[in-house]
A and B are shown apart, each in its own frame.
Chain A
Amino acid sequence: METSKVIHAIYTDDDVLMSAVKKVRQEKHHIEDVFTPFPVHGLDKAMGLAPTRLAITAFLYGALGLSVSIAMMNFIMIEDWPQDIGGKPSFSFLENLPAFVPIMFELTVFFAAHLMVITFYLRSRMWPFKDAENPDPRTTDDHFLMEIAVHNNEESLTNLLKDTGAVEINIVDKDEDAH
């Protein structure tokens, strides 16, 4: 089991946190993670995180849902057993299309929404009975925590973080296999 050291800098204000993140990035230190009790607008940009591609997956899932609905109804209503139900024209898919549109729409939305949510859970590793990865319980209430890896530069890093307005700086051993 390998352990490495990280610094936990704790802030009590999101504006201070934002300027701290910018400053640490300017000094070319790699920010491992930031823990906040609520979404801080613009934090992802300040940290330089890549934009999410979740919307693109949703579009593709929607297209999949549309295809499933078309294939399903074309097979059931037109090819497998084209009955005359109330005089609806089941000779070809196009002729009976308006009747299928509500289902096509709903399945598109269903696939897009649910598969996107599942993708989100998988990508962000969230599931029931998962152990919380919370370094400090106060970060779910009113504290903000920035985690930076230490590479034999404890002192300069500590000074830098103090300058940015951190209220508390802890150096902790981090168990790599904990999660």
Chain B
Amino acid sequence: MEYKISNRLRIGAIILMVLGVLGVGYGFMDAYSVTEDNITEYLASEDHHGEAHATEGHDLEKDHGHGAEAEVEGHELSHEEHVLHQIHNRPYAALYVAALFFFMIALGVLAFYAIQYAAQSGWSPVLFRVMEGITSYVLPGGILVLIILWIADSHIFIWLDESVVAHDTLIQNKSSWLNKPWFFIRGFIYLAGWSLYRHFSRKFSVAQDLADINDNSNFKKNFRIAAGFLVFYIYTESMMSWDWIMSVDPHWFSTLFGWYVFASMFVSGITVIALITLYLKSKGLLEFVNDSHIHDLAKFMFGISIFWTYLWFSQFMLIWYANIPEEVTYFITRIEDYNVPFFGMLALNFIFPLLLLMNSDYKRIPWFVVMTGVVILFGHYLDVFNMIMPATVGDRWFIGVPEIGSILFFAGLFMLIVFTSLGKYPLLAKGNPFIKESEHFHY
């Protein structure tokens, strides 16, 4: 089964990217049109729209939002300066959220792929080429995330702002971990490890296709490196989530955060596998994929959605219950300023998949899986949004041009890279020793 990215798809992806760049560009221009000189007039013109907001805003923003700035003694920012920072942070944060979201999809698929090899699963080998196509985004997507972090600097990570750190003992105590060179060295190590695994697993998987029918050496190599990768992955994924996500709130920490982020990327990754599989199948390119495979993917979407909710709730309920002030601010900002996205994502990521994918028959109906999949993906975008935005833009969030532009850009890039990679090799990994079992998989 050969596949070549169609011209329509390529052009569509490029249009998405162009629209995205325009949106992101507009976001930056719009944000930087507000400067120290006209911030007072800007806020005054806003007050005409809602007077309550101005009085309430002033008190609240001191307590949360970019908490690190406001709390420091002797380094009090005026309300105007504080708001200006938030306005300027927004396009960076919007870009970062979208970059991270799409990167984590590819990384989640890579973990899923490695698990399939390590578990020697018999049902999934027909989907290996789809997974390999998606993981081709790991390297470019990861590089983009690091570049955005490098450029955004203290717009996303307050601990990169030396004037803040100088007055903040808490961050100073963490600076042996949270400092710029070590942060980027770590990012480089993670990315190098992940892409090396992806490079070799793809190489061995393709080599297995061409090997003699009795020669399983490439499969065995893949099995071994998958086991090794999973050990590496579970450490680096956890550290990645501290570095790239948790450190936007450098005063806050949570021990199960790494798992929580993992569940989020894992379920979005599986959802994307299902969506792309259904797309290719609808083109008649994956005849060997039957509805039992779709059923299994949908079961994973269902199960991991509930796993995500379990971790979300465990983190939330422990902190809510104990109500320790330095921890609970994290959720207070989210409940007060992000009420709809914060609880909305719970409906999208938990209640929707729970009710829609519970029925065994529904898991085999393509449009049902696609519909639920789109809801899950949107829910997990909101999840990343809720993790990054409160620390960078505080209550000045909106899903507007910069956010949508960033999503469009990365969606286009993701599609372009993934579908180009899908076209490189046949869609059936025919050399895999489990491929016959997988083709006849029936549940």
Contact = CB atoms under 8 A, between A and B. Distances in A.
B323 A101 contact: no
A98 B318 CA distance: 9
B313 A101 contact: yes
B259 interface: no
Given A55-B360, A98-B320, A98-B321, 9 more contacts: A59-B358, A87-B323, A98-B313, A98-B316, A98-B317, A99-B317, A99-B321, A101-B313, A101-B317
Contacts of A98: 313, 316-317, 320-321
Interface of B: 313, 316-317, 320-321, 323, 358, 360
Interface of A: 55, 59, 87, 98-99, 101
Contacts of B360: 55
A98 to B, nearest CB: 5
A53 to B, nearest CB: 12
B330 to A, nearest CB: 15
10 contacts: A55-B360, A59-B358, A87-B323, A98-B313, A98-B316, A98-B317, A98-B320, A99-B317, A99-B321, A101-B317
Contacts of B323: 87
B181 to A, nearest CB: 41
Contacts of B313: 98, 101
A59 B358 CA distance: 9
Contacts of B316: 98
Nearest to A42: B442
Contacts of A99: 317, 321
* Residue from A98, A99, A101 having most chain B Cβ neighbours under 10 A: A98
Contacts of B317: 98-99, 101
A55 B359 CA distance: 9
A87 B313 CA distance: 20
A59 B323 CA distance: 35
A87 B328 CA distance: 15
A98 B316 CA distance: 8
A101 B310 CA distance: 11
Contacts of B320: 98
B307 to A, nearest CB: 14
